[in-house]
């Protein structure tokens, strides 16, 4: 009964998602196939092997999930998360990739900060973390090329504090309740905003970070960690439009969903009306600086197989392997840079000043 209920929730979610993203082409799947799974918190700390390789104590902290080979310096190809890791905090046990985003903090009326924990998404089990999606095109047949060993990329700009210059597909949603009902449609549609919502959200704030789906076919990375990939020239939820000639190779659409549980903060703690209490770890109370980082680390061709089979949800028996939520949650990493990530603190870790 419990399993049935969870399945119903998940299928309901996927179906709503598929419908919201636009009607699939005739003859296509009733529900769009997509991997959608939980990656529990691996660690929270001030490391960024992509943007600040080797630096111990980056200017702001991140929520990191995935393989436990995560480390301050992860040189491409030589340091392969799939072979260096001994466990992963994700449901798919062959996925040792690392996924990370900035953390959200709440600043109380008295100026103290507290980290906003994350809710585990509908139908999934875990401890905080990120919901990860890999989405192939809807038609059920267009070939996607899984990321190669050593591949990495970045969406967003941690320094940005205004709408101008905002990369596509980074959005916030003020969810009405934890059941996300009524469902607000596909990411970055409806009432979604690039900036952080200012009102109290009954079900917390959802962040979606959707990566480009077109690759130049040659470079595993680029100096800005962005220009080796591109968004399609058109298409609603990005999967449908053609890739530009410069970036002809169709990738799975990688998306992160982070459900910030903002419900614990009470009226006495909220600042005076009109002041944004939520602030990202880089001192960004606007929300425009939110960003997502990715280092590919699936074992061998596991992701390619999952895409070719149009695996959906968080299991695909006989094609790719899963582990229990308890095993995934048991995979954690101690902090390299020790600092308090729970409770009230006088300033943001790393000490960033706040921009409203
Ligand atoms: C990263 O991992 C490698 C290989 O295990 C290790 O030699 C190195 O010291 C680690 N670097 C840091 C900064 O932790
Ligand atoms: C600030 O407010 C929070 C929430 O009410 C409280 O727990 C914390 O101790 C206060 N911090 C200081 C320094 O007074």
pLDDT at 9 over 70: no
Q: Show the tokens assigned to 334.
A: 């101690």
Q: How far apart are CA 44 and CA 62, in angstroms?
A: 6
Ligand nearest to the CA of 70: 1
Instruction: State pLDDT tens for residues 141-190.
Output: 888 999 999 999 999 999 999 999 888 889 999 999 999 999 898 899 99
Q: Rounded to whole angstroms, how far apart are CA atoms 124 and 14?
A: 13
- Whole-number Å distance between alpha carbons of 297 and 307: 15
- 343 alpha carbon – ligand 1 mean position (Å): 30
pTM of the model: 0.92
Ligand nearest to the CA of 81: 1
Q: How many domains does the chain have?
A: 1
Residue range 207-222, pLDDT digits in tens: 999 999 999 999 999 9
Residue with tokens 């009902």: 181
- The 41-45 sheet, strands edge to edge: 41-45, 62-66, 98-102, 291-295, 152-156
Q: Are 256 and 130 in contact (CB under 8 A)?
A: yes
> pLDDT value at position 141?
80
Closest C-alpha among 45, 65, 29 to residue 295 = 65
Question: What does the block give as tokens for 124?
Answer: 């999934």
> pLDDT (tens digit, 9 = 90+) per residue, 133-154?
999 988 778 889 999 999 999 9
Which residues lie with the beta carbon below 6 Å from any ligand 2 atom? Answer: 108, 110, 112, 269, 344
CA-79 nearest atom, ligand 1: 4
Question: For the purposes of burial, counting CB atoms within 10 Å of the CB of 235, is it exposed (0-12), middle (13-18) or buried (19 or more)?
Answer: middle
DSSP, residue by residue, 113-136: EEEPPEEPPTT--SSS-EEEEEE-
Q: How confident is the model at residue 235, as a pLDDT?
A: 67
151 burial via Cβ count (<10 Å: 0-12, 13-18, 19+): buried
Give tens-digit pLDDT for 19-64: 444 444 343 344 578 999 999 999 999 999 999 999 999 999 999 9
Residues 309-320: tens digit of each pLDDT: 999 999 999 999
Count of C-beta atoms within a 10 Å radius of residue 248? 13
Domain assignment of residue 216, given as a range: 1-356
Pocket test for ligand 2, best of 344, 345, 347 (most atoms within 8 A of CB): 344
**Best of 52, 71, 337 to mutate for ligand 1, by most ligand atoms within 8 A of CB?**
71
Mutate to test the pocket of ligand 1, among 73, 85, 335 (most ligand atoms within 8 A of CB): 73
Do 252 and 136 touch, CB atoms closer than 8 A? yes
Position 308 confidence tier, pLDDT thresholds 50, 70, 90: very high
Output the average pLDDT for the chain: 90
Are 295 and 150 contacting, i.e. CB atoms less than 8 angstroms apart? no
- d(CA 298, ligand 1 centre) in Å: 20
């Amino acid at each position: 009964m419990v399993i049935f209920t969870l399945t119903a929730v998940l299928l309901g979610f996927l179906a709503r998602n598929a419908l919201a993203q636009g009607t699939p082409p005739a003859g296509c799947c009733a529900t769009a196939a997509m991997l959608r799974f939980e990656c529990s918190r691996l660690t929270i700390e001030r490391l960024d092997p992509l943007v600040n390789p080797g630096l111990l104590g980056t200017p702001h902290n991140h929520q990191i999930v995935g393989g436990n080979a995560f480390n301050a310096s992860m040189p491409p190809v030589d340091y392969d998360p799939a072979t260096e890791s001994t466990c992963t905090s994700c449901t798919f046990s062959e996925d040792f990739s690392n996924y990370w985003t900035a953390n959200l903090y709440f600043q109380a009326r008295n100026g103290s900060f507290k980290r906003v924990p994350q809710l585990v998404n509908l139908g999934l089990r875990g401890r905080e973390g990120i919901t990860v999606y890999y989405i192939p095109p809807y038609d059920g047949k267009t070939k996607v090329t899984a990321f190669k060993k050593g591949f990495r990329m970045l969406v967003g700009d941690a320094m940005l504090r205004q709408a101008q210059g905002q990369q596509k597909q980074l959005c916030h949603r003020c969810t009405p309740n934890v059941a996300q009902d009524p469902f607000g449609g596909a990411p970055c549609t409806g009432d979604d905003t690039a900036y952080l919502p200012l009102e109290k959200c009954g079900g917390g704030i959802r962040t979606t970070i959707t990566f480009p789906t077109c690759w130049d076919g040659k470079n595993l990375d680029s100096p800005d960690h962005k220009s080796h990939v591109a968004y399609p020239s058109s298409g609603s939820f990005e999967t449908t439009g053609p890739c530009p000639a410069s970036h002809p190779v169709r990738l799975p659409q990688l998306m992160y969903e982070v459900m910030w549980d903002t419900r614990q903060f009470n009226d006495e703690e909220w600042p005076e009306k009109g002041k944004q209490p939520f602030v990202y770890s880089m001192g960004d109370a606007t929300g425009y600086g939110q960003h997502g980082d990715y280092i590919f680390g699936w074992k061998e061709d596991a992701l390619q197989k999952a895409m070719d089979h149009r695996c959906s949800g968080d299991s695909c028996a006989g094609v790719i392997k899963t582990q229990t939520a308890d095993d995934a949650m048991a995979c954690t990493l101690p902090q390299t840079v020790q600092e308090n990530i729970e409770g009230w603190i006088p300033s943001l870790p790393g000490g960033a000043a706040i921009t409203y």
